[in-house]
Amino acid sequence: MSGLIQQLNNTGLPQEFMLKAIFYIIAASTVFFAIRMVISPNVFHGAIFLALALIGIACIYLYLDAEFLAVIQILIYVGAIVTLFIFAIMLTASIQDRTIKQTNEQVLLSAIVAFVFLCFFVTIIRRNPWQAAASKAEGLALAQLGRLLMSAYVLPFEVISLILLAALVGAIVIGKARK
């Protein structure tokens, strides 16, 4: 983030304004890509739009001082999970055909439900008086995060490894060809 701020200082505009403008552009494009992912009739295009939306979310992590998580997001989500989705789309045929309906008959009802949820969330968020930003100046350093993961939060870390092992075994068992 500091390198970006250095570069922005060279432009004439005030740095605060530039950072804010970039944030809102990224947020708007993330929402746009997410909507395109949900409504695109071709699932393959949906996977590409999902990748773009995930990159936008990684940029938002940078604004929240979570640089390591932004890198993780791009490596794991865009690098691995979206690739996996594209593999699954390729392996299951006849879905790129535009004549097949891709949405079920509950579109209107689901849109109402999602909109009501959104209004509910926004009302609650607007009503709550969030305290001003805490005085925490520095983000969490990567070395500190790694030390925390191995000392205070070793239980979630072990749970992750157990879940990944179970998922690995489960995927092999399910995906194995039946004799």
Partner 1 sequence: MIPQSHFLILSAILFCIGLFGALTRRNAVGILMSIELILNAANINFITFNKFLGSSDGLGQVFAMLVIAIAGASAVVGLALIIAIYKNAKTIFADKINLMKW
Q: Which of residues 17-76 bind partner 1 (CB under 8 A)?
A: 19-20, 23, 27, 30-31, 34-35, 37-38, 43, 46-47, 50, 53-54, 57, 60-61, 63-66, 68-69, 72-73, 76
Of 105-164, which residues contact partner 1 (CB under 8 A)? 106-107, 109-111, 113-115, 117-118, 121-122, 125-126, 128, 130-131, 133-134, 136, 138-140, 144-145, 148-149, 152-153, 156-157, 159-160, 163-164
Three-state DSSP state, 55: helix
| Binding residue count for partner 1, defined by CB under 8 A | 86
Tokens 């505009």: give the residue: 13
Which residues lie below 8 Å from residue 1, measured CB to CB, with a gap of 6+? Answer: 62, 63, 65, 67, 139
- Least CB distance from residue 12 to partner 1, whole Å? 19
Measure the CA–CA gap between 129 and 93, rounded to whole angstroms.
51
DSSP-derived secondary structure letter, 153: T
Nearer to partner 1, 12 or 138 (CB): 138
- Least CB distance from residue 89 to partner 1, whole Å? 6
- Least CB distance from residue 46 to partner 1, whole Å? 6
- Least CB distance from residue 173 to partner 1, whole Å? 9
Residues in the chain, total: 179
Burial of 54 (C-beta count, 10 Å sphere; 0-12/13-18/19+): buried
Measure the CA–CA gap between 81 and 145, rounded to whole angstroms.
24
Measure the CA–CA gap between 85 and 68, rounded to whole angstroms.
24
Measure the CA–CA gap between 156 and 160, rounded to whole angstroms.
6
**Residue from 2, 11, 92, 99 in contact with partner 1 (CB under 8 A):** 92
Nearer to partner 1, 13 or 167 (CB): 167
- Least CB distance from residue 4 to partner 1, whole Å? 13
